[in-house]
Amino acid sequence: MLIGSCMICRFGNDSLQMSGDVVVRRARPDDYVPVLNIIDDLWGGNDYLPTLYYAILQSTSHVSYVAEVNGRVVGL
């Protein structure tokens, strides 16, 4: 699925040049570190996601997605 924007994006000191499409796909266990890098500054470090990430991925009542540009996770 292609989409033009994402809900939460963080690019750090990198400037994102849209040379590729934004691809939205289901989150995977190996997205844990990139997702943590994105949410690092949110909620003053009091976010529940680092603790519950894997449980959310295994849940039958929740679906999580990430946004990628050129193979790099840039949003969730």
Domain assignment present for 64 = yes
**36/1 Cα distance (integer angstroms):** 23
Q: How many domains does the chain have?
A: 1
Q: Percent of the chain, pLDDT > 90?
A: 42
Domain assignment present for 10 = no
Which pLDDT value is given to residue 45? 72
Q: Which domain holds residue 28?
A: 22-75
pLDDT band at 28 (very low <50, low <70, confident <90, very high): very high
b vs e for 11-50, b when ≥16 Cβ sit within 10 Å of the residue's Cβ? eeeeeeeeeeebebeebeeebeebbeebbeeeeeeeeebe
Domain assignment present for 35 = yes
Domain assignment present for 38 = yes
Mean pLDDT to the nearest integer, 11-20: 50
Domain assignment present for 16 = no
Supply the mean pLDDT for the chain.
78
Domain assignment present for 52 = yes
Is this structure's pTM higher than 0.75? no
Which pLDDT value is given to residue 9? 52
SS3 at position 11: coil
